[in-house]
Chains A and B, each alone.
Chain A
């Protein structure tokens, strides 16, 4: 089944530094989404990038997508202690057709620690 794999599994940086997380996946996608999870509870949607997009920005977040390499990266610039969380990439299982298209499959996440 389609599943993203985040890399690294854990990342520890100083406040103010940039954090880069990567996601690789196996089959064609229509879009890829990034989510943040604090303290093992609810996830927050951060950004969605479609397969025909190469880069997208939202505030301090920058997401790239390389469909030829089946990979995406999430860059958080000027990190803050409040950015400490787990970050997941997710993608719809299907390709907009039939049941299962709307189910998101998640990787195991990158645990980011930002040290004040």
Chain B
């Protein structure tokens, strides 16, 4: 009965480096979401997966951001050539089913700091 887990919990990187953030959703949850939250702000939607496909990538801020999901489970969010404005907490969530009424269960987040 584990919840959503994310790794690493904290990541400090230098500007221009690539980073990979990982999300393990709750077992059996078909939908997976990535959000990011800048200091003192609400959550900004990035991308959503239904199974392994991503019907909605509209929130990805630039082509430096990409995400994949394999086996209907684990997802990785990759940020290439990181910039300082990428610094934020990246949150992953999963839900059972894709109804807009399904509560989303969030992981603890990865705090990314780009120096």
Contacts and interface: CB of A to CB of B under 8 A. Distances in A.
Given A40-B37, A42-B106, A88 B58 contact: no
Interface string A74-107: 0000000000000010101111100111111111
Band of interface residues on A: 20 to 34
A62 interface: no
Contacts of A30: 100-101
Give the contact-size bracket for chain B.
Answer: 20 to 34
B43 interface: yes
Interface of B: 4, 31, 33, 35, 37, 39-43, 45, 48, 50, 55-56, 58-59, 89, 91, 93, 95, 98-109
Interface of A: 3, 30-31, 33, 35, 40-45, 48, 50, 88, 90, 92-96, 99-109
